[in-house]
Amino acid sequence: MINKVQEYRKINKVTQNDLAISVDVTRQTIISLENGKYKPSLVLAHKIAQYFETSIEDLFIFDLEEENI
């Protein structure tokens, strides 16, 4: 799964720490998320999408082959 969290964060000039506090996670979680090491839960994905005023589908792109869909 590819995500555009870092891209959206830079466009909106938001630090990792600010985003982390806004969505109630640690900065390390945001770092792992942006690196693709951690897949967020539906609730966290929704919170981040709401924070950037976009949809989950715009923020998180599924790799159909990887997810076996």
Q: Which is nearer to another protein, 11 or 43 (CB)?
A: 43
Closer residue to another protein, CB minimum distance, 41 or 68: 41
Residue type at position 23: V
Instruction: Give the nearest distance from C-beta 42 to another protein in angstroms.
Output: 11
Q: Supply the minimum distance, in Å, between the C-beta of residue 55 and another protein.
A: 21
Helix (H, G, I), strand (E, B) or coil at 16: helix
- 55, 49 contact by CB (below 8 A): yes
Which positions lie near another protein, rule CB under 8 A? 20-21, 24-26, 28-29, 32, 38, 40-41, 44
> How buried is residue 59: exposed, middle or buried, by Cβ count under 10 Å (0-12/13-18/19+)?
buried
